[in-house]
Structure 1
Amino acid sequence: MTDRSFRFTHAISRKPSASIIDGLRAVDVGTPDLDLFHSHHADYVQALKDTGAEVTVLDALDAYPDAVFVEDTALCLREGAIVMRPGAPSRLGEAAEMAPHLKALYGDVRAISGADSYIEGGDILTTETEILVGRSERTNAAGIEELRGLVADWGYTVREVITPEGVLHFKTDCSLLDGETVLATERLAASGCFEGYKVIYTAAGEEAAANTIRFNDLVLMPAGFPATRDRLIQAGYTVREIGNSEAAKLDGGMSCLSLRFTPTR
């Protein structure tokens, strides 16, 4: 078993813009504090750099309030990158903005292009053996099918799963911890989508901790979920807690804030 699903040499992140106060949100729980968001984002980027990765931090995009959540714009694999087609109309332009940065690093960059295809990176969990894609309000069957065709010659198997009702993205409720282990909420795991994997559950009332990222030897998780943090530490993971209160106001988490990959040319 390799570890291509969580060991990376590169990451791309983007600074939050002043327009983020107009970002999409399922429920309005308050306006993000831009200064605090910048502070949290700086801590996040530093944590990625501390693993030894090369981290590119792109300038803010005022025209796209949600552009800080770069993960939704692309799927980055060892063999190449796939530019997504976000399901939120206001975010369609973000993918085009990301494409040149990926082409500078990858020899093979492909794109979801069907007029009826929608898919966002937040619905995609890549493991050592397959790519799980959650059908959601942002990702439809046509998008999943197009992705399946685009990665077939790279040897990847795509498996469609269902994102729970009321949950924005599949990875809102889960994340990869290593080649055989996922962190997940009980409501998501109950669907049976993780059969064959070891599952560590978020603690009761700490479901928002499910969106972490395993990046090289660190597990980055949002601060404020001590019981889930302790479960990860007890399982042998090295955990770094990052403030996420402002991103959370816009339904954002740890994975949303970066693209993580090892490019090949």
Structure 2
Amino acid sequence: MPRSYTFTHAITRRPSAAIVDGLRAVDTGAPDLALMLDHHAAYVAALKSTGAEVIELAPLEEYPDSVFVEDTALCLPEGAVIMRPGAPSRLGEAAEMAPHLAALYGELRRIEGEDSFIEGGDILMTETGILVGRSARTNAAGVAELARLTADWGHRVHEVHTPPGVLHFKTDCSLMDEETVLATDRLAASGCFAGYRVIPVAAGEEAAANAIRFNGKVLFPAGFPRTRDRLVKAGYDLTEIGNSECAKIDGGMSCLSLRFTPAR
């Protein structure tokens, strides 16, 4: 089974009331917590519908962005690597996630370099390697340390670059299957997906690029009909989920979960 999108487990964290203080590149208003909770519940239900075990963690009021658990770790079949987020206010989130992953994995490694920063939102796991985008949140030292930590597990890390002004590499792309990615034109133009079939996001719907393939489903943000139709035409089974409130604090489908099959 494809290891890059076939999983037995996921971890999510319920949004806290502190979400109104979440980081954002542009202030478009505070998220509506009640609506975000509804969207989050639909997201969790979609994950569970594939047969996966979903571990739902309690809110962390001291960390406004902690609903975005993907940035805290990279979960591989052989073990998990705890990240070192590039946003100083988020460093404690990774430490909070570590014991939950330690309970599931036989081996846990950590990005520890004082000058190393890396977030899960910049990491795209494929069947042939790990693409890591340099960004404002992920630097060269973080990428190099991840490469060292995963080399003996047989993984090859490929450093690529996130477009200027884009928060994370996966803000602009998603893995659809072993051979296919969904991507914005601005990211695909860099050539980082050479050898893959690229389904382009419709013009004006760039925010649709952050979706996730999770077992047999694609969890897709609602409100992007032209890109949705392209994926349906290509044969994917989509579940559309509201993302209006997460988007106000730069979040998307992939940010809301860690997806993995743990090995003991």
TM range (shorter): over 0.9
Q: TM-score, normalised to structure 1's length?
A: 0.99
Aligned-pair distance for 1:14? Answer: 0.2
Q: TM-score, normalised to structure 2's length?
A: 1.00
Name the SS of the counterpart of 2:152 in structure 1.
helix
**How many residues are matched?**
264
Name the CA distance, whole Å, in 1 between partners of 2:220 and 2:165.
Answer: 22
Aligned-pair distance for 1:26? Answer: 0.2
Structure 1 partner of 2:159: 160
Structure 1: gaps spanning 5 or more residues: none
Name the SS of the counterpart of 2:39 in structure 1.
helix
Structure 2 partner of 1:130: 129
Name the CA distance, whole Å, in 2 between partners of 1:30 and 1:172.
Answer: 20
Structure 2 partner of 1:241: 240
Name the CA distance, whole Å, in 1 between partners of 2:85 and 2:158.
Answer: 19
Name the CA distance, whole Å, in 2 between partners of 1:59 and 1:86.
Answer: 20
Aligned-pair distance for 1:254? Answer: 0.1
Name the SS of the counterpart of 1:176 in structure 2.
strand
Structure 2 partner of 1:115: 114
Structure 2 partner of 1:33: 32
The letter for the 2-side match of 1:102 is L
Structure 2: gaps spanning 5 or more residues: none
Aligned-pair distance for 1:80? Answer: 0.4
For 1:179-218, list aligned pairs within 5 A: 179-218=178-217
Name the CA distance, whole Å, in 2 between partners of 1:101 and 1:72.
Answer: 15
Question: Does 2:101 correspond to 1:102?
Answer: yes
Question: Residues 175-198 of structure 1, C-alpha deviation per residue, up to 9 Å, x if partnerless?
Answer: 000011000000000000000011
Structure 2 partner of 1:14: 13
Name the CA distance, whole Å, in 2 between partners of 1:48 and 1:193.
Answer: 29
Name the CA distance, whole Å, in 2 between partners of 1:179 and 1:15.
Answer: 31
Name the CA distance, whole Å, in 2 between partners of 1:181 and 1:260.
Answer: 19
Name the Cα RMSD after superposition. 0.4
Name the CA distance, whole Å, in 2 between partners of 1:50 and 1:153.
Answer: 34
The letter for the 1-side match of 2:182 is L
Q: Percent identity?
A: 75
Aligned-pair distance for 1:85? Answer: 0.1
Question: Residues 219-242 of structure 1, C-alpha deviation per residue, up to 9 Å, x if partnerless?
Answer: 001000000000000000000000
The letter for the 2-side match of 1:215 is F
Name the CA distance, whole Å, in 1 between partners of 2:160 and 2:29.
Answer: 32
Name the CA distance, whole Å, in 2 between partners of 1:39 and 1:56.
Answer: 17
Name the CA distance, whole Å, in 1 between partners of 2:115 and 2:49.
Answer: 41
Deviation >3 Å, runs of 4+: none
Question: Does 2:171 correspond to 1:169?
Answer: no
Question: Does 2:67 correspond to 1:82?
Answer: no
Question: Residues 55-87 of structure 1, C-alpha deviation per residue, up to 9 Å, x if partnerless?
Answer: 001000000000000000000010000000000
Question: Residues 101-151 of structure 1, C-alpha deviation per residue, up to 9 Å, x if partnerless?
Answer: 000000011000000000000000000001000000000000000000000
Name the CA distance, whole Å, in 2 between partners of 1:21 and 1:164.
Answer: 27
